[in-house]
């Protein structure tokens, strides 16, 4: 009997636990550890931050839904992991494992800039439930005495979609309330150009985003780093500054401290290097999925930024890891598989929306992708709302990816995974631990 432990119960961890339980015979034990009592559908947090969605609508009690599917649930914080002895330290116990799937999601590096973050700084974020609630409280106060808004990202940030979504949703909401003329909105981003998204080469995204921002009178300052933040002003590296009454600035991500402190497990920022199979290159018992995986930046940019890891990519990683663990255990046969890593992002802007697709996220050596485009329309907003309900129902009932979802993606020409050639299953060009 093997014991498989999944650390983290977010968009990667909870589906991973369900998928493992579905694929593996019952003699194998699956345990899910989370330092949070609830699952949160993170893509909807910009709505929460602007008071457009209640937090309880996008959360599920893990202790109620997980055990009924034959998965042990532990609500506790991991304090240390030793991949050599295959042990995980919790606050009051030690857990042994045969395989571990690291799906913690990110820790927010709000200490990256002076004045960043809601607790010890002057800015809001919508990257976790607590911050989204604080952002909503600050937003309600802002509406009583409006002024300039600044939305953007700190240097080193990797997920830029929520910034554009928040800025345009704020513009739409203020217009509905008759306050838009009182509120100048500025986006400040380290991307080399607005619409780069940490991906680059996204066909028309640069021009479409620029046009949408211009139509809504949202100013853009791109290719610039925020140096520090004071109570009513954001200072930039080129000696400019921007005043604000309300600011939502996305912080950089890093891995939790227990990962960063495990010798040889992660890079300096706490991200886990992986082979094409999503197994760690040095520890055969360690796999990783989601934001915590290490992906090298697609291109060099004047200001360093990270690579986004969206939900679609995470689901591909989950299927890959589950299959390859099952292959190790002799439950399935055939070659190992790897994810195709397509990036699909739905963004709601209130009166319209935008769909971004990069297939695959990582271009080939000539910088080419099969497809890369951005399109817009109100239908995108409807699709995001529908997908929220669908995904919440899936997590509530414990579905794995059902056949009709896989079929639909294939019909769109989006295979989730592909087999690895036998001679590359243990790829000799193993990823280096990046500093």
Q: What is the pLDDT of residue 428?
A: 33
- Kindly calculate the radius of gyration of the chain based on its CA atoms and give it in whole angstroms: 21
Predicted pLDDT at 401: 60
Helix (H) or strand (E) holding 94: strand 94-96
57: tokens are: 């609508």
Question: Residue 272 and residue 321: Cα distance in Å, rounded?
Answer: 14
Q: What pLDDT, on a 0 to 100 scale, did the predictor assign at position 24?
A: 97
Average pLDDT score over residue span 319-348? 93
Question: What stretches of 177-310 show up as alpha helix (H) in DSSP?
Answer: 205-215, 257-260
Domain covering 110-250, topology: FAD/NAD(P)-binding domain (3.50.50)
Average pLDDT, the chain: 91
Is residue 159 part of the annotated active site? The answer reads: yes
- Asked if residue 430 has pLDDT above 50, the reply is no
> Domain locations in the chain?
110-250
Helix 13-23 vs helix 378-397: angle between axes, to the nearest 10 degrees? 50
Dist. CA 45–CA 57, nearest whole Å: 11
The pLDDT tens digits of the residues spanning 296-322 come to 888 889 999 998 888 889 999 999 999
Query: CA dist 165 to 149, 209, 353, Å?
Result: 14, 11, 9
Return the higher-pLDDT residue of 141 and 406: 141
Q: How many Å apart are CA 291 and CA 295, to the nearest integer?
A: 9
What is the largest distance, in Å, between two alpha-carbon atoms of the chain? 65
C-beta of residue 43 within 8 angstroms of C-beta of residue 388: yes
CB 10 within 8 A of CB 103: yes
Over 90: is that where the pLDDT of 435 sits? Answer: no
Mean pLDDT of 158-186: 97
**Residues whose CB falls within 8 Å of the CB of residue 298, separated by 6 or more in sequence, listed in order:** 198, 199, 200, 201, 307, 361, 362, 363
DSSP codes of every residue in 306-346:
-----HHHHHHHHHHHHHHHHHHTTSS-S--EEE---EEEE
Is 136 a known active-site residue? Answer: no
Which two tokens mark 217? Answer: 């009178």
Work out the end-to-end distance of the chain between its first and last CA atoms, rounded to an integer number of angstroms. Answer: 37
> Could you give the CA distance from residue 59 to residue 10 in angstroms, rounded to a whole number?
10
Q: Which of these ranges, 45-54, 191-200, 236-245, has the smallest mean pLDDT? A: 191-200
Instruction: Find the catalytic residue in 135, 151, 265, 345.
Output: 345
pLDDT of 433 reads 40
Q: Is the model more confident about 277 or about 204?
A: 277
Q: Which residues are CB-contacts of 344 (< 8 A; sequence separation ≥ 6)?
A: 310, 311, 312, 355, 356, 357, 414
Which pLDDT score, from 0 to 100, does residue 157 have? 96
Half-sphere exposure of 389 (CA within 13 A, CB side): 5
226: helix, strand or coil = strand
Cα separation, 323 vs 337, whole angstroms: 7
Say which of 14, 116, 159, 420 is annotated catalytic.
159
As given in the structure block, the two tokens for residue 42 are: 């993170």
Residues forming a β-bridge with 108: 253
Nearest to 40 by CA among 114, 132, 118: 132
């Amino acid at each position: 009997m093997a014991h498989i432990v999944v650390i983290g119960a977010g968009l990667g961890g909870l589906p991973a636990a369900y998928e493992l339980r579905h694929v593996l015979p019952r003699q194998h034990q699956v345990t899910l550890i989370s330092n949070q009592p609830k699952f949160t559908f993170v893509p909807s947090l910009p709505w929460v931050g602007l008071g457009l969605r209640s937090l309880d609508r996008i959360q599920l009690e893990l202790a109620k839904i997980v055990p009924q599917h034959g998965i042990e649930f532990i609500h506790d914080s991991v304090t240390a992991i030793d991949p050599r002895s295959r042990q995980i330290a919790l606050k009051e116990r030690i857990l042994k494992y045969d395989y571990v799937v690291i799906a913690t999601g990110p820790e927010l590096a709000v200490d990256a800039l002076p004045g960043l973050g809601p607790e010890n700084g002057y800015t809001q974020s919508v990257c976790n439930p607590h911050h989204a609630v604080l952002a909503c409280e600050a937003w309600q106060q802002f509406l009583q005495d409006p002024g300039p808004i600044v939305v953007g990202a700190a240097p080193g940030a990797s997920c830029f979609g929520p910034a554009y979504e928040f800025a345009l949703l704020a513009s739409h909401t203020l217009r509905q309330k008759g306050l838009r003329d009182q509120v100048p909105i500025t986006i400040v981003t380290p991307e080399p150009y607005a619409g780069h998204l940490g991906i680059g080469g996204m066909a028309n995204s640069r021009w479409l985003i620029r046009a949408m921002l211009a139509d809504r009178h949202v100013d853009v300052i791109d290719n610039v780093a925020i140096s520090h933040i004071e109570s009513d002003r954001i200072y930039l590296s080129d000696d400019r500054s921007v005043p604000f009454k309300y600011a939502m600035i996305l912080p950089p991500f890093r891995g939790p401290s227990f990962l960063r402190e495990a010798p040889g497990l992660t890079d300096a920022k706490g991200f886990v290097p992986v082979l094409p199979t999503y197994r760690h290159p040095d520890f055969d018992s360690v796999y990783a999925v989601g934001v915590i995986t290490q992906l090298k930046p697609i291109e060099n940019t004047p200001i360093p930024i990270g690579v986004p890891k969206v939900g679609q990519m995470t689901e591909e990683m989950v299927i890959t890891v589950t299959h390859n663990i099952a292959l190790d255990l002799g439950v399935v046969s055939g070659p190992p598989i790897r994810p195709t890593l397509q990036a699909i992002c739905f963004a709601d802007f209130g009166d319209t929306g935008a769909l971004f697709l990069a297939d695959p996220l990582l271009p080939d050596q000539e910088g080419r992708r099969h497809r890369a485009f951005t399109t817009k329309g109100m239908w995108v907003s409807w699709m995001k709302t529908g997908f929220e309900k669908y995904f919440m129902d899936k997590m509530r009932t414990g579905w794995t990816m059902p056949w009709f979802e896989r079929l639909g993606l294939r019909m769109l020409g989006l295979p989730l995974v592909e087999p690895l050639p036998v001679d590359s299953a243990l790829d000799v060009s193993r990823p280096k631990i990046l500093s």
